[in-house]
Amino acid sequence: MNAGNHATHESRDAATRAAPDLSGLPTPALVLDLDVLENNLRVMQERADALGVRLRPHVKTHKCVEIAERQRAGAARGITVSTLAEARVFAEAGFDDILWAFPLNLSRVGEAAELSREIELGVTVDSHAAVAALETAAARFSVWLEIDCGYGRSGVPHDSDRVVEVAARIARADRLTLRGCLTHAGHAYAADSPAAIAAVAEEERQAMVDAGRALRAAGIEPGTLSLGSTPGMSRVETLAGVDEARPGNYALYDYSQTRLGSCSVRDCAVTVLSTVVSAGGGSSGSIADCGALALSKDLGPDDPPHYGRLFLDLAGGELGDDRVTSVSQEHGRISGRSAVGEKIRVLPNHACLTVAQFDHFDVVRGRRVVDRWKIRRTRD
């Protein structure tokens, strides 16, 4: 280690030692474990490298410039967003290769055109109507054709003649460029075993390879073939024939991902710190300030369902038996009895929805609070 790096590490370590303990945070607080985050980013980048694909992370999970900058520093190429508002925020932060991976909203074509003049903004289509809207706009667009690999949510079915028909229309348009084809195997989240996830991931890969082959046979260059989900990337055996992966949840992980086998509990970087506010009322359990506006209303994968599981103590790392059994707007009912004023730490079912409830992360190393990072809770 050179002197400069040594000084940097010493400075960071000193700041960490001087930082307050997370138990002193006002609640509800969204706690981000920086050591866990950094390891997750490193592991997924290594995974993408080993599979021979570029990594274009989906930033809707964290909505945080500081995290996206760390992903880019780790060799991620471009980012994925869900909304134009997210695209604008990250463009302003210096990201210039952004894929808006959501079917084009025809009422937003003008805004997309404006942003496309400033950065490389990829817009996603799966219909002739969407392509027609882009053709009539006075702007150049990088267009991505969405392929349905079996999820059934949106996209052109991978085995349909419409793949070539829509792609050919894009290729013929004067101001449109077919930048690539993308898909998302969201049904991997419903798989009941690691083997089932691997099977869905292979179907996703094969669908993209087939779509690319069909386009080339029709004389159309398909551009980048892009896929990916966090469960799929955790279990896929090969990505031969594919260029790019777009997982998002891997940066933070959550309880649902532990049940899928994508990660362990110790890989979960985000937790909700809460305070018990009531232990009376003659009913079992306790009430804490971790309601729906902290944890969301995602019921998760367990039966009986719940809204999150409690760690044994504030150090995290190991889950106990207690759960958040019900939520109203601000109230969260805890299955175990706790004293009023006691702090608890909850692992949420769905990190993406939980993050969307907060304005910032309280960043920790261990139990020490070292920073605060803004969450860009933008709305179009």
pLDDT above 50 for 16? no
DSSP letter for each residue of 128-178 = HHHHHHHHHSSS-EEEEEEEESS--SSSEETTSTHHHHHHHHHHHSTTEEE
| Domain covering 52-251: architecture | Alpha-Beta Barrel (3.20)
Query: Domain coordinates of the chain in residue numbers?
Result: 21-33+262-374, 52-251
pTM for this entry: 0.92
| Positive or negative: CA dihedral 352, 354, 355, 356 | positive
Whole-number pLDDT of residue 365: 95
From CA 229, how far away is CA 234, in angstroms rounded? 9
Q: Indicate the pLDDT class of residue 108, thresholds 50, 70 and 90.
A: very high
The beta strand positions in 46-109, using DSSP E, are 54-55, 79-81, 97-103
- In tens, the pLDDT along 83-94 reads 999 999 999 999
Interior angle at CA 92, CA 87 and CA 93, nearest 5: 100
> Partners of 148 in the beta sheet?
157
Whole-number pLDDT of residue 285: 86
- In tens, the pLDDT along 291-308 reads 999 999 999 999 999 999
Contact of 121 with 87, CB cutoff 8 Å: yes
From CA 233, how far away is CA 254, in angstroms rounded? 16
Q: Do domains 21-33+262-374 and 52-251 have the same CATH topology?
A: no
| pLDDT higher at 42 or 336 | 42
For domain 21-33+262-374, give the CATH number. Answer: 2.40.37.20
Whole-number pLDDT of residue 110: 96
> Partners of 58 in the beta sheet?
80
Q: What is the CA radius of gyration of the chain?
A: 22
Contact of 90 with 79, CB cutoff 8 Å: yes
